[in-house]
A and B are shown apart, each in its own frame.
Chain A
Amino acid sequence: MIRRLALAATLALGAFDTAGAAEWHPYRHISQAPLGFWFVAVMVIGALLLFTYWAVERPVSGREASPSRKGYHALGALVLAMTVFTLLLYVVVAGRIDALGASDDAWAWSPGETLQDPGGSDMSGEPYRGYQVYRAEGCTYCHTMYVRPQDIATGWAPGATEADVSVPQDFANYPYTLLGTQRNGPDLSIIGRQIPDMSYQIAHLQNPRQFKPNSIMPRYDYMSQDDLQDLAAYLVSLGNDPRKLKAGTLDDADTATGSGGPSVPTDTDTPAAQGKKLYSSLGCVGCHSTDGARNVGPTFQGLYGHDVALESGETVTADDGYLTRAIRDPKADIVKGYPAVMPAAYGDMSDADLDALIAFIESLSDDSGSH
């Protein structure tokens, strides 16, 4: 009902809008504003300035007279009209945006739909419900959900590209939005593409400082397994094309882990591809990037076969032996300029897993070529 009214108002005022919906581009210049806007702006600003002028300059006799009874009513009516008008302005914009509809790759999960963990575990969760959990837990007070054009060039949105800049159509399927006004932590609009792995997301939620020693994010280890899985499913759904996720065909070209370095084989049987899965599921992704970016630990890109400077002053070549040692016994050699925070818990991983991981790291080096 209210929605209908709002839409009707929108259409009525839309008469002022000379541009069609297709041209409703978010960042168009102010000179392209519709006629209605200028009308409102001139009216509002003009009314204010005129009123101020009148109130300051109007002659008053004797003791300062306050306005008459009629004067009050007139002013009250004027202000009410203004308030309704400005509200209407917002309503019009909101209505127009609603009417735009969703883009093809916009987030589109309805209640009850489940997502199978693309990270390879047998977990699944409901992204829609995860979104509700995200709201209820208040994550939005530290994380935002939109990328501005300027974020690309700065440190606000590492890994985001031009194509990730938010447009209104991205949010059309959300019942309500949590864009956020505060970034105490990173923007999450593309987190699912960067780390498409529910196991990692859950482990990070439960204890963020296990991966990021300086993180200020609270632990969410009190949440029920259901809530955690739904929330993780929601995080994984962010920045990924929902059609591909639903079909289970999220390929490497879609993930940052694949897009950064040389392409990784997609055949699930090769050791490198298995290693890539382990890289997410064991949580290496929380500290090591594959696109050259510095994180808590050094990047894996171009690591294999290259020289590594150690804290001890020595330089070693990153071959199979060194990598085995680095993973099995992280405290043995510490890379220069990095803290010794890599967990020692990987010591007892199976040889097969270790080989897969090393194959994966090797595949990220230029000169190793394809595997």
Chain B
Amino acid sequence: MIDRAIKLWFFSALVWLVIGPAIGAFQSLQFIAPDWMNFLSAIALPYSKLRIVHTNTVILGWIVMTFISAALFMVPRLCNTPLRFPQLAYAAGWIWNAALVLDLVLIWAAIPDSFWLSIQAGEYAEAPLLVDVMIVAAVVCVIASLHLTVFARERPHLYVSVWYLLGGLYTTAITYLVGNFLVLAFSGEGYQVIEAWWLHNAVGMIITPLGLGTAYYIVPLAAQQPLYSHRLSIVGFWTLMAFYPGTGLHHFLQMPVPIWINEFAVISSVLLGIPVLAVVTNFLATPRGNWSRAFDSYPLRFAALGTLYYLATCLQGPFQATAAVNWYVHFTEWVQAHAHLALAGAFTCYGMAAGYYMFPRITGRQLYSRGLASVTFWCMVIFFPIFYIGFTWSGVATGASINLMGNTIYQTINITWIPRLSRTITGTVVVVGFIAYVWLLLRSLRVGAPYESGMNEVPEMGIETPFEEARA
């Protein structure tokens, strides 16, 4: 049952990974060849709805599901005791999937005026109330199962991953409740203020702690080195938890609210540098002396790459939150590029690191192809940055055209198609990389060599056995 629960979350996440990013790449055609996309209107699924589908599937489907599967895998191991009530976690997996499917159907149906079935106004909180109830129920089940495991642990001390994963699930529940239910108590612009609280915490209090907890587990194990510093991990964890919640309003600088609350959000954002530097130092210093593990260990490669992207995101974030930069980039694709750097870059890398690490251990199969694993890795190393740069370039160009040259948005369309084309092309390559990853895992299910504990996830360098032989 324990295995089934983990596998359910793990493989569902893979399915959403195929769907979500591909929709993103596809819908970007709207910006360069809108007439090709007219057929979407014929099926009542224009860009504006597809975008919601895209964000919901990548966040709730791929990222959160994969990290929950990681939590179900890691927390019991760290506590040295089997997962309690795996039935709950298993049921939660199905509830979650059903909620997402229902969510997508309701987004498509676009019912304007139903309390339970209309999508909500908040960005990333679009899921209708009915879906929200299901999601909260699922999170509560997972928390129950995991926290009971932690209570029954055989080790008195909690490793930092456990704080992050369990704490992250609690903050997930709280944030979700605020963003989807508490906001209903407000109207007018008050609604937007609470929504802003949710908007950034969807990333900061849901995805970040879960992702970092996963990485804290992977990095030392994959590098076969003890964690660099427990002290830094304490600094990182508590400052993150204390500082993230206040940042949301930096998405609405110059919205008509008192400037000082915006200022508070900006100050919080800048202070986030403390947890970020603590975490990044810890991750990058842990494999010191044993970086050569990166030749063999794909989990280590992805965790390190994810950390670099995480650092880049988190340096960019405070930078663009300050008023001096924000006036120029606000409303442009610069901001969307930033979101991709965090989610498609950093956290997807962590998710893939977790996938490469967990797959052999939950299925008993080694990954069948070193070459394909390298393809997924180099795709993220080479094409993802180009994709990101094209995306950002579009934002910079828009900013120049409108802020400095006084052009209207409509006139600006005439120049932004160039970076937008680049973003579509490179974005497609990145999506192909994701699909290759999913293919690699699924195919390994059938043809991967049997895995025994102590082996590398992928056949080690030098012993390139064709998989048919390996099976025999």
Contact = CB atoms under 8 A, between A and B. Distances in A.
A55 B264 CA distance: 24
Residue of A60, A135, A136, A144 ringed by the most chain B CB atoms within 10 A: A136
Contacts of B246: 44, 86, 89-90
B242 A48 contact: yes
Given A72-B158, A129-B113, A184-B31, 19 more contacts: A29-B259, A37-B260, A44-B246, A56-B231, A64-B231, A82-B245, A90-B197, A93-B261, A95-B190, A136-B118, A137-B46, A148-B254, A171-B189, A176-B183, A177-B195, A179-B255, A215-B413, A218-B40, A219-B41
Given A79-B241, A90-B193, A90-B194, A97 B188 contact: yes
B235 A52 contact: yes
A221 B121 contact: no
A175 B187 contact: yes
Contacts of A168: 188-189, 256-257
Given A141-B52, A209-B34, A6 B410 contact: no
Contacts of B410: 185-186, 212, 214-215
Contact of B242 (A28, A30, A78, A91): A78
Q: Which 3 A-B pairs have the closest CB atoms?
A: A138-B48, A94-B190, A33-B260
Given A181-B123, A209-B35, A222-B44, A94 B193 contact: yes
A34 B259 CA distance: 11
Interface in A165-220: 165-168, 170-179, 181-186, 209, 212, 214-220
B121 A135 contact: yes
B430 interface: no
Nearest to A139: B48
B51 A141 contact: yes
B49 A138 contact: yes
Contacts of B43: 222
Nearest to A6: B185
A47 B243 CA distance: 10
Nearest to A2: B185
Contacts of A222: 41-44
14 contacts: A33-B263, A40-B264, A41-B267, A52-B239, A64-B231, A90-B193, A90-B246, A93-B190, A138-B110, A177-B188, A218-B41, A218-B48, A220-B41, A227-B112
A45 B409 contact: no
A132 interface: yes
A205 to B, nearest CB: 10
Interface string A123-146: 000000100110111111110101
Interface string A90-125: 110111011000100000000000000000000000
A218 B185 contact: no
B331 A154 contact: no
B257 A26 contact: yes
A82 B244 CA distance: 10
A89 B41 contact: no
B248 A97 contact: no
Interface in B204-257: 229-231, 234-235, 238-239, 241-243, 245-246, 248-249, 251-252, 254-257
B189 A177 contact: yes
Given A64-B229, A132-B112, A156 B48 contact: no
B178 A137 contact: no
Contacts of B81: none
B186 A3 contact: yes
A141 B194 CA distance: 19
Contacts of B230: 64, 66
A313 interface: no
A339 to B, nearest CB: 11
Interface string B24-39: 0000001100110110
A312 B241 CA distance: 68
Contact of B47 (A69, A94, A95, A218): A218
A358 B413 CA distance: 32
B254 A156 contact: no
Contacts of B258: 24-26, 28, 33, 93
A222 B412 CA distance: 28
Count class of interface residues, chain A? 35 or more
A6 B77 CA distance: 42
Contacts of A173: 188
A55 B235 contact: yes
Interface of B: 30-31, 34-35, 37-38, 40-44, 46-49, 51-52, 110-113, 118-121, 123, 156-158, 171, 174, 178, 182-197, 199, 229-231, 234-235, 238-239, 241-243, 245-246, 248-249, 251-252, 254-261, 263-264, 267-268, 271, 274, 327, 331-332, 335-336, 401-403, 405-414
Nearest to B182: A2
B409 A186 contact: yes
B285 to A, nearest CB: 14
B178 A51 contact: no
B235 A144 contact: no
A266 interface: no
A214 B414 contact: yes
Contact of A83 (B157, B193, B242, B411): B242
Nearest to A149: B254
Nearest to A144: B331
B239 A48 contact: yes
B407 to A, nearest CB: 5
A158 interface: yes
Contacts of A156: 331, 402-403, 409
A186 B410 CA distance: 8
Contacts of A166: 255-256
Given A48-B274, A181-B331, A98 B187 contact: yes
A26 B252 CA distance: 13
A87 interface: yes
Given A138-B48, A154-B403, A217 B34 contact: yes
Nearest to A58: B231
A133 B49 CA distance: 12
A219 B42 CA distance: 9
Contacts of B199: 181
Contacts of A337: none
Residue of B193, B257, B267 ringed by the most chain A CB atoms within 10 A: B193
B244 to A, nearest CB: 8
B193 A216 contact: no
Residue of A78, A79, A218 ringed by the most chain B CB atoms within 10 A: A218
Contacts of A97: 188-190, 193, 257
A127 to B, nearest CB: 12
A228 to B, nearest CB: 12
A7 to B, nearest CB: 9
B30 A218 contact: yes
A67 interface: yes
Nearest to A147: B256
Contact of A52 (B51, B196, B274, B414): B274
A15 interface: no
Contact of A158 (B42, B174, B408): B408
B21 to A, nearest CB: 17
